[in-house]
């Protein structure tokens, strides 16, 4: 769909007004107005993802959660399972996070837990540590809103369904308020009504998410006639085009509301890979290097607990004995030296997450 990215001046009677421009973000998503601060940090990989709980009263057919998390009452900070407050703080430090996205499930289903973690993060990293929270909003009360404001919430994102007035009672508590919804092809009229409503009541933003398929929601979505996009992994055919059309409508019919069309690549390429790269830098050993933007590459000697280090005359900072993987880790160069001495060696690329695993392994 052809859209304009330039503001245009129109005349209506004796009044001149400027039609808004559609802009392109750092991550190649499209928007009008101003990107929410949470989105800017997210694209840069600077947002900790705090998954408070998988518990949720709704059963949305497009819910992307895995069976590991859906309806499971456990807390995760990025890929790290949380048992203590320090688990959250440690992951934020390792990822050089400047903010957190609080999500679920439904984080308000465990409200005390949600407020506690917001307070813990604000106390540790200061008022500038940006906190946004994603919720369906249907259980929210004025007492909850005041408690969230007092804890330091900066941005509230409501997954609005039928009752648009939910957003009304969330305004006026000192944090930005907006909506965040998926773009379901064929539901453009509902999105246009939402845009006009948000503009009228004075909400700050609307985030439109390109619809994605996952292993868990695939059958539910295909039963509704939604098809996978063969050109872009895991996206729904027609969602992006529908989003561009809705964004064009917003451009022509709003003056203040910011609208952001967030693509699948924003989350899976920019947000995720930038966060992994930041974490990789924090945990990188001297003999390792970052490749493919965010992977950690190293050499390994299988099943040896130190003889090879002595034989190669390695200093203590040139190798690491990984007892969990039953191997000695070192630089690729030294692993090639070990191979020439007859050891079983390989080059591995490792995911720099808390649940680290070999993403790729090439025997030498």
Mean pLDDT of 20-49: 95
Contact predicate 309/319, CB 8 Å: yes
| pTM for this entry | 0.91
Residue 211 DSSP label: P
What is the structure's pLDDT at 12? 47
CA torsion 79→84→87→89, rounded to 10°?
130
Here the tokens at position 257 are: 């509301």
CA 349 to chain centre: 23
SS3 26: coil
CATH code 3.20.20.70 region(s) in the chain: 16-277
Mean pLDDT of 145-165: 95
Cα R_g (the chain), whole angstroms: 24
The count of C-alpha atoms lying within 13 angstroms of the C-alpha of 5, restricted to the half-sphere facing its C-beta, is 8
Residue 162 has pLDDT above 90, yes or no: no
pLDDT tens readout for residues 303-362: 877 789 999 999 999 999 999 899 999 999 999 999 999 999 999 999 999 988 999 999
CA 342 to chain centre: 45
Which residues are 361's β-sheet partners? Answer: 348
Residue 159 has pLDDT above 70, yes or no: yes
Pairing of strands 8-12, 345-350: unpaired
pLDDT tens readout for residues 191-214: 999 999 999 999 999 999 999 988
What is the structure's pLDDT at 116? 98
Q: Cα–Cα distance between 318 and 334 in angstroms, integer?
A: 9
What is the structure's pLDDT at 215? 80
**What is the biggest distance separating any 2 CA atoms in the chain, rounded to whole angstroms?**
87
Whose structure tokens read 């948000």?
198
pLDDT tens readout for residues 119-141: 999 999 999 999 999 999 989 99
pLDDT tens readout for residues 41-100: 999 999 999 999 999 999 888 888 888 999 999 999 999 999 999 999 999 999 999 999
Q: Residue 301: which pLDDT band, with cuts at 50, 70 and 90?
A: very high
Q: Cα–Cα distance between 132 and 251 in angstroms, integer?
A: 25
Q: State the burial class of residue 107 (Cβ atoms within 10 Å of its Cβ: 0-12, 13-18, 19+).
A: buried
E strand residue ranges, the chain = 8-12, 15-19, 23-24, 30-32, 47-53, 76-77, 80-81, 99-104, 130-135, 155-158, 176-183, 205-210, 258-262, 289-291, 295-302, 319-322, 327-330, 345-350, 358-363
Q: In whole angstroms, how far apart are CA 272 and each of 44, 47, 57, 133, 282?
A: 9, 10, 28, 18, 16
Phi-psi region of 71 (alpha: psi -120 to 50; beta: other; left: phi over 0): left
Contact predicate 362/321, CB 8 Å: no
Mean pLDDT of 158-169: 92
What is the structure's pLDDT at 216? 81
Alpha helices in the chain (DSSP H): 37-43, 85-94, 111-125, 142-151, 188-201, 218-222, 239-253, 264-265, 272-283, 307-311, 332-340
What is the structure's pLDDT at 161? 85
Here the tokens at position 184 are: 């379901």
Homologous superfamily of domain range 16-277: Aldolase class I (3.20.20.70)
Residue 117 has pLDDT above 60, yes or no: yes
Mean pLDDT of 290-295: 95
pLDDT tens readout for residues 222-278: 999 998 887 766 889 999 999 999 999 999 999 999 999 999 989 888 999 999 999
């Amino acid at each position: 769909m052809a859209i304009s990215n330039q503001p245009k001046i129109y005349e209506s009677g004796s009044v001149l007004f400027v039609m808004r421009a559609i802009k392109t973000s750092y991550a190649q998503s499209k928007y009008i107005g101003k990107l929410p601060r949470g989105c800017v940090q997210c694209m840069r990989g600077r947002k900790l993802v705090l998954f408070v709980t998988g518990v949720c009263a709704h059963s949305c057919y497009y819910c992307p959660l895995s069976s590991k998390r859906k309806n499971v009452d456990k807390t995760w900070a990025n890929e790290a399972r949380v048992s203590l407050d320090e688990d959250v703080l440690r992951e934020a430090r390792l990822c050089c996070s400047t903010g957190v996205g609080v999500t679920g499930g439904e984080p308000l289903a465990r409200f005390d837990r949600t407020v506690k973690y917001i307070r813990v993060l604000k106390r540790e990293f200061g008022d500038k540590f940006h906190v946004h929270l994603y919720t369906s909003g249907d259980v929210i009360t004025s007492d909850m809103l005041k408690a969230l404001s007092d804890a330091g919430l900066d941005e509230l994102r409501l997954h609005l369904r039928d009752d648009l007035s939910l957003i009304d009672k969330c305004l006026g508590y000192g944090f930005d308020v907006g909506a965040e919804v998926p773009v379901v092809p064929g539901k453009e009229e509902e999105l246009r009504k939402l845009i006009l409503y948000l503009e009228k009541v004075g909400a700050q933003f609307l985030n439109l998410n390109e619809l994605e398929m996952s292993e868990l929601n695939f059958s539910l979505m295909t039963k509704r006639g939604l098809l996978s996009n063969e050109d872009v992994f895991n996206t729904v055919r027609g969602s992006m085009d529908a989003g561009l059309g809705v964004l064009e409508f917003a451009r022509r019919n709003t003056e203040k509301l910011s609208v952001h069309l967030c693509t699948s690549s924003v989350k899976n390429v920019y947000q995720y890979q930038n966060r992994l790269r930041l974490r990789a830098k924090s945990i990188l050993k001297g003999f390792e290097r970052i490749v493919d933007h965010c992977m950690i590459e190293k050499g390994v000697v299988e099943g040896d607990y130190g003889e090879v280090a002595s034989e190669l005359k390695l200093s203590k900072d040139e190798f690491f004995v990984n007892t969990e993987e039953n191997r000695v880790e070192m630089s690729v160069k030294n692993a090639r030296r070990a191979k020439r001495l007859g050891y079983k060696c390989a080059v591995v690329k490792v995911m720099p997450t808390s649940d680290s695993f070999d993403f790729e392994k090439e025997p030498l």
